[in-house]
Amino acid sequence: MKNLTQTTEIKQAIERTIDCNEKYHGAYFWQPDMSAKGRRYKERNFTKNNPDYTFSFNDYIWTVEHRYDESCHHCYFQLRIFKDDHKTNITALKNVLKKLEEKEKKDWEFISSHLPETPVIKPQPKPERENLVFPPLPPSPVIKPRLKVEREKLVIPILPETINLIKK
């Protein structure tokens, strides 16, 4: 289980969890893979792409666990979210994401309000382009046309002896 500490990591993980929940919430009605090898591959791939994680927010420890299983007849998705070892739902996680975004916005507003003002740089007038003299262009290279070469037809004379051999 991965422990997330940075706000950007937490936000990305929560967004990935919300997207995953929206994608897999109807997994029970999906068609599982025909072979056991394919089913185990999908389960391992899901676990690799959606690792379990923990993070701390507002003096609470949040734990998010994903699980995806395929049997011969059904697909199963399970998302378990805990807030200090008490089970909660995806709505609480969405609220955490909203609060993180608000906090980040306030932090940026605070930082930008305390930055020194940047001086306004006035654009310089462009020089006049009336009496510009350009050097002459170099002569262009002469392109010779390619000669079209036709293939000659090969004519092989057939002797009467050869014709007699073919008829036999």
Confidence class for position 136, pLDDT limits 50, 70, 90:
confident
For residue 155, is pLDDT > 80? no
Nearest to 4 by CA among 67, 63, 49, 68: 63
pLDDT average, residue stretch 17-33 = 87
Tens digits of residue pLDDT in 98-114: 998 888 887 767 666 66
- Per-residue tokens: 98: 């909203």
- Determine the pLDDT at residue 31: 86
pLDDT exceeds 80 at position 65: yes
Mean pLDDT value across residues 22-43: 89
The pLDDT, as a whole number, for residue 111 is 65
Q: What is the DSSP string of 98-155?
A: HHHHHHHHHHHHHHHHTSPPPPPPPPPPPPP-SS---PPPPPPPPPPPPPP-PPPPP-
Q: What angle do CA 89, 48, 57 make, to 5 degrees?
A: 40
Mean pLDDT of 43-72: 91
| 119-134 pLDDT tens trace | 777 777 776 666 666 7
For the cut 80, the answer to whether the pLDDT of residue 58 exceeds it is: yes
Query: Model's pTM, two decimal places?
Result: 0.60
Query: Which carries the bigger pLDDT value, residue 68 or residue 125?
Result: 68
Residue 139 pLDDT > 90? no
Q: What CA–CA distance (Å, rounded) separates 118 from 114?
A: 12
pLDDT tens sequence across 73-85: 889 999 999 999 8
